[in-house]
Amino acid sequence: MAASDDRLLLLDPRDNVFVARARIAAGESVLIEGEAITLAADLKLGHKLARRAIAPGEKILKYGAPIGSATGPIAPGESVHVHNVKSDYTPTYHLIDAQEEHGEKAL
Amino acid sequence: MSTVAEAPLLGYPRADGRKGIRDVVLVAYLVECAHHVAREIAMPFADRDVHVIGFPGCYPNPYAQKMMERLCTHPNVAGALLISLGCESFDKYGLAAKIRESGRPVHTIVIQAAGGTRKSMTEGRAWIAETLKAREVATRVPMRVDELVIGTVCGGSDGTSGITGNPAAGRAFDMLVKEGATCIFEETGELIGCEHIMAARAITPALGAELEASVAKAARYYATLGYGSFAAGNADGGLSTIEEKSMGAYAKSGASPITGIVKPGDIPPTGGLYLLDVVPDGEVRFGFPNINDNAEIAELIACGAHAVLFVTGRGSVVGSAISPVVKICANPETYRRMAEDMDVDAGRILEGRASLDAVGAEIRDLIVALGNGARTASEALGHREFILTYKSFAPLGPACLPAA
């Protein structure tokens, strides 16, 4: 298996996502499976990043288990969250759109 | 005479043979209309373990009646003052009789009969003062770890909860179960997607089928309501779906075999690991299964929990009436911001400063310390949250409890 960044945690060898162990700022380079990728956006602690290319409809695997499906293509190193993942059970409720719609800073 | 090694805690003995790690006097309102009077009675005694609980509804409900009976006769409770307005439907006679039969002092004040707010407050404070005086002579006796019932809940979860705090709580559960204690995990609405791996841990195939059925019930219930057991803050913290949150929450249960299923207010008959099925039976009525974390904490306590492990990533501050709440902070950034509200810094695991096993052992030792007079952060800060609402349950199926 190719090397990946120390700041990224792989919870299970089957996973197609990593979890950030610390905040990583936009513009920083992260090593993903041996490839250096520049982050397009800030990645917060505990948030996920694609380990490899994920196709639309493909299951997102974390802890070795499916946690939802991709709603569009996800590139390696791209953030994996509510904007590109949906639950296979009940839709996720969040305030991220409301915050952006009102042009507010996250509280 | 047992040695300290065999019985490392000091408990308050109760007539039913159970022991408490606290000696709380309750003021219990039986309808929201009596809540203010109850709060005013308890206020001068806030630093002396006089806690307020109650049920706000005016319509009767067997679940709420059972919850109140179990809470008022909980091993951490020394006695209870019941505050009734007078016209509500709650069975105050039945509740008082159950408390009296348990050997605890009980007194009921009916505000309409007593002559209103002020007279009820005066009478109530006098009863509390007298009961506290009697409590001063309470002697504590050695208590073993296998006499403990411990619950676990998570709230304000984020992307770190399932990696640090929940598995660390699971390790503590594994140690406690090995020592013979009773451990209860809950929220079937946050075990969605985990039902099959969980069922494989059941001590009998029939119990495994019941475990799967309880999660299927939760999935149906939440699907009807249109929301999963998922709050906006979970998404801010990096959790994308209910399945992801569930996989993290499931880690709280540890790796022990699952001994049984209980419903709110059922007291597990043996040591071991139990699932608390919190989702009502039958068609959807009365709204969300648990409207917030404290509704779940109250249910764990009604099952006899002496203390509740509460894993948080975003940073919950709550405690509870009756039983101490141990705050395990999964996220190292949150811990640094809110350290005074936290008992355990499980975020150390993420930063490579502690192992899961070390934090698990720290949690287990903290539980024992609570049985020797140590206080949690939320207790020290005066948190005594409590909430109870309407639910309806069918009795437990025969496969849910271990054979006698």
CA distance A20 to B221: 33
Residue of B nearest to A106 (CA): B236
Query: Are residues B136 and B216 in contact, defined by beta-carbon separation less than 8 angstroms?
Result: no
**In terms of DSSP bridges, do strands A59-62 and A65-70 run parallel, antiparallel, or are they unpaired?**
antiparallel
Q: Cα dihedral sign for B93, B98, B101, B102? A: negative
Asked whether the predicted pLDDT for residue A100 surpasses 80, the reply is: no
| Token pair of B140 as six digits | 């504590």
Query: CB-CB: which of A46, A68, A87 is closest to B238?
Result: A46
Query: Are residues B273 and B195 in contact, defined by beta-carbon separation less than 8 angstroms?
Result: no
Q: How far is A89 from chain B (nearest CA, A)?
A: 7
Query: Are residues B138 and B12 in contact, defined by beta-carbon separation less than 8 angstroms?
Result: yes
CB distance from B228 to chain A under 8 Å?
yes
Per the prediction, chain A carries an average pLDDT of 91
Are B332 and A94 inside 8 Å of each other by CB? no
Using an 8 Å CB-CB cutoff, list chain B residues near A9: 163, 350
pLDDT of residue B258: 98
Q: Which helix or strand (DSSP H or E) is residue A85 part of? A: strand A85-86
CB distance from A31 to chain B under 8 Å?
no
pLDDT of residue A1: 54
> How many other C-beta atoms can be found within 10 angstroms of the C-beta atom of residue B317?
16
CB contacts under 8 A, A 53-92 vs B, are 60, 62-63, 65-68, 80-82, 85-92
Query: Are residues B211 and B195 in contact, defined by beta-carbon separation less than 8 angstroms?
Result: yes
pLDDT of residue B356: 96
CB distance from B200 to chain A under 8 Å?
no
Residue of B nearest to A46 (CA): B159
Are B247 and A48 inside 8 Å of each other by CB? no
ipTM confidence score? 0.92
List of chain B residues with pLDDT < 70: 1-2, 404
Q: Tokens 């490839």 belong to which residue?
A: A35
pLDDT of residue A90: 83
Are B240 and A82 inside 8 Å of each other by CB? yes
Query: CB-CB: which of A44, A63, A93 is closest to B238?
Result: A44
Cα dist from B82 to B25, B144, B202, B374, B386, whole Å: 11, 32, 40, 29, 16
CB distance from A95 to chain B under 8 Å?
yes
Q: How far is B78 from chain A (nearest CA, A)?
A: 42
Q: How many CB pairs under 8 A join A and B?
A: 115
CA distance A84 to A93: 14
Lowest mean pLDDT among A92-96, A103-107, B200-204, B399-403: A103-107
Using an 8 Å CB-CB cutoff, list chain A residues near B192: 89
E strand intervals along B14-125: 19-20, 24-29, 50-54, 77-84, 106-110
CA distance B324 to B7: 20
CA distance A32 to B93: 67
Query: Across-strand partners of B273?
Result: B183, B258
